[in-house]
Structure 1
Amino acid sequence: MNQPQQLSERLQEVLISGKWIAGTNIKEQVESITWQEATAKVSTLNTIATLLYHMNYYTEGVLHYFKTHKLEMADKYSFDAPEITNEQDWDDLKNKYYKASEAFIAYVKDMEALELSKPFFDEKYGDYQRNINVIIEHCYYHFGQIVLIKKLLRQDATK
């Protein structure tokens, strides 16, 4: 198996359908979250909806750069999640995340191994492979937050 295929499998594991490292994945976890839970505040933590938007913002941004060589994302906008006021809004956000995740996975899988060493925008950002690994690590980080917030919300609901 070549490097792009290995990276795409790691992306698949965390984003859409894997079970190996965490025993679950982001899609499986957010599917059972209601829009009310997705928007509920727990102390000063970000909401689940905001975290899902944030992860997707970077996934879409990196994919856009891979395809166009134009970097059109900025950290200051990465938490500007749309307002979620009903189940349809939440479904729309989840579906946008699923679609972008699947597109990113497919793009990485089809990359040539040599592309992985291409510089990403500026040398300080490393190469394509580093940025793919950053997406994986970034998603695992926020995935953990989502799981914890979900547990806290459901624990509070049973009191």
Structure 2
Amino acid sequence: VFFFAFFVLKPFMETKFAILNLLSSYMSFSQLIARHLREVHFGKNWTWVDLKTTLEEVDLKMATTKIQDLNTIATLVFHMHYYVERQLAVLAGGPLEGTDK
């Protein structure tokens, strides 16, 4: 939920309504969310960072290496995928089935 709210909805909440209205005159809200989610994964988003470019040179050893008590890269990516998958199901009209525990 945090990932979805922070990386997908936050830009819309912080954007002035005039800009959102201008964009929404060309796209529906669901199209805007889909576009932003694609950009977070594949590039050209508001953060100037995307998952594909950031992770493309990370190998399995690097992704699963534990550093002190921090989560591994693999764990973080799993959690991002997990929450986005749950939110997409809700946006498709399904119930929220998931937990953050």
What TM-score bracket applies, with the shorter chain setting the length? 0.5 to 0.7
Find the counterpart in structure 2 of residue 72 from structure 1.
97
What whole-Å deviation, never above 9, does each CA across 1:69-127 have from its counterpart, x for those lacking one? 22220111xxxxxxxxxxxxxxxxxxxxxxxxxxxxxxxxxxxxxxxxxxxxxxxxxxx
- Matched residues in 2 for 1:47 and 1:27: separation? 17
- Matched residues in 2 for 1:60 and 1:5: separation? 17
- Matched residues in 2 for 1:71 and 1:20: separation? 27
For the Cα contact (< 8 Å) 2:43–2:52, is it kept in 1? no
What TM-score, normalized to structure 2?
A: 0.63
Percent of residue pairs identical: 37
Find the counterpart in structure 1 of residue 82 from structure 2.
57
Gaps of 5+ in 2: 1-25
Relative to its length, the structure with more helix (as a share) is 1
- Alpha-carbon shift at residue 6 of structure 1 (Å): 2.2
Counterpart residue type for residue 35 of structure 2: E
Q: Give structure 1 regions of 4+ aligned residues with deviation exceeding 6 angstroms.
A: none
- Matched residues in 2 for 1:9 and 1:67: separation? 16
- Matched residues in 2 for 1:61 and 1:20: separation? 22
Instruction: Tell me how large the CA RMSD over aligned residues is.
Output: 1.7
- Matched residues in 1 for 2:45 and 2:57: separation? 20
Out of 8, 19, 40, the position equivalent to 1:14 is: 40
What TM-score, normalized to structure 1?
A: 0.42
Q: Secondary structure at the match of 1:75?
A: coil
Mark the CA change 1:18 to 1:6 in structure 2 (over 3 Å): closer, same or farther.
same
Q: How many residues align?
A: 75
- Indicate the structure whose relative CO is greater, using CA pairs within 8 Å and at least 6 residues apart: 1
Find the counterpart in structure 1 of residue 59 from structure 2.
34
User: Does residue 71 of structure 2 align to residue 46 of structure 1?
Assistant: yes
Find the counterpart in structure 2 of residue 137 from structure 1.
none
Counterpart residue type for residue 27 of structure 1: K
Counterpart residue type for residue 6 of structure 1: L
